[in-house]
Amino acid sequence: MAHDNPHSDDPHHAHAHLPPDPALRVKALETILTKRGLVDPAALDEIIDIYQNKIGPQNGARVVAKAWSDPEFKARLLADADQVLREMDIYGRQGEHMVVVENTPETHNMVVCTLCSCYPWPVLGIPPAWYKSDAYRARAVREPRKVLADFGVTLPEGTKVRVWDSTAEVRYLVLPMRPEGSDGLDEAALAALVNRDSMVGTALTSFPEGTV
């Protein structure tokens, strides 16, 4: 394979100078960078802790539940998501320019990044493996309905699909439809119904959860 015989002046083969096992490769790189004072291992622990435990789809679920509960909030969210999310203290890396797109009986929205793995981190966290997979990246734009079928989702007859390919620094969040029968629920109970995939557009929401 190409990375077994690197050209030493080829930066895109630089990885070939590191050990072949990826876990050891990370460790080697961390060791080198730490020794030179370029990386603080405690800062790495902190980054991992934040994305593992603090920033995740619970943020997006809070936004969706509020939009389902408050029509004025929803209107502002759809018109200027950046402003509204900042008011909720949701902002940061990979979510600097946000647009929220609303699912309706007429239109189902779905988000992909065919060129890499762009994803709205501050509202959804780090993307799941399927979102970054070749199969999803390749197929979501050409056959979104067959991709939805892989997730067990069938759209009602007459619903059109709009796929958003995240080619710039704008990040998209899908506002799923509020499930029928959820009328009496407060925001916290509604937030519990909102699953991550429904905010990417590869799942629907239901009440009680799991009935779709």
Catalytic residues: 113, 116-118
Please count the other Cβ atoms lying within 10 Å of the Cβ belonging to residue 70: 13
User: From the list 5, 8, 183, 184, which residue makes contact with another protein (rule: CB under 8 A)?
Assistant: 8
CA atoms within 13 A on the CB side of 208: 0
Examine residue 86 and tell whether it contacts another protein (CB under 8 A). Answer: no
Q: Least CB distance from residue 171 to another protein, whole Å? A: 10
DSSP 13: G
Q: Least CB distance from residue 185 to another protein, whole Å? A: 21
Q: Which residue do the tokens 């800062």 mark?
A: 43
* CA pair distance 48, 55, nearest whole angstrom: 10
Among 129, 123, 52, 118, smallest CA distance to 90 is for 123
Interacting residues with another protein between 155 and 174 (CB under 8 A): 160-170
Answer whether the bond into residue 57 is a cis peptide, omega within 30°.
no
Examine residue 38 and tell whether it contacts another protein (CB under 8 A). Answer: yes
Examine residue 83 and tell whether it contacts another protein (CB under 8 A). Answer: no
What stretches of 151-198 show up as alpha helix (H) in DSSP? Answer: 187-193
Q: Least CB distance from residue 61 to another protein, whole Å? A: 14
Examine residue 88 and tell whether it contacts another protein (CB under 8 A). Answer: no
Please count the other Cβ atoms lying within 10 Å of the Cβ belonging to residue 10: 10
Examine residue 96 and tell whether it contacts another protein (CB under 8 A). Answer: yes
Nearest to another protein of 34, 189 (CB atom)? 34
* CA pair distance 200, 113, nearest whole angstrom: 11
Q: Least CB distance from residue 73 to another protein, whole Å? A: 21
Examine residue 97 and tell whether it contacts another protein (CB under 8 A). Answer: yes
Nearest to another protein of 1, 186 (CB atom)? 1
Whether the Cβ atoms of residue 121 and residue 95 lie closer than 8 Å to each other: yes
Interacting residues with another protein between 43 and 82 (CB under 8 A): 43-48, 50-52, 55-56
User: From the list 76, 80, 151, 187, which residue makes contact with another protein (rule: CB under 8 A)?
Assistant: 151
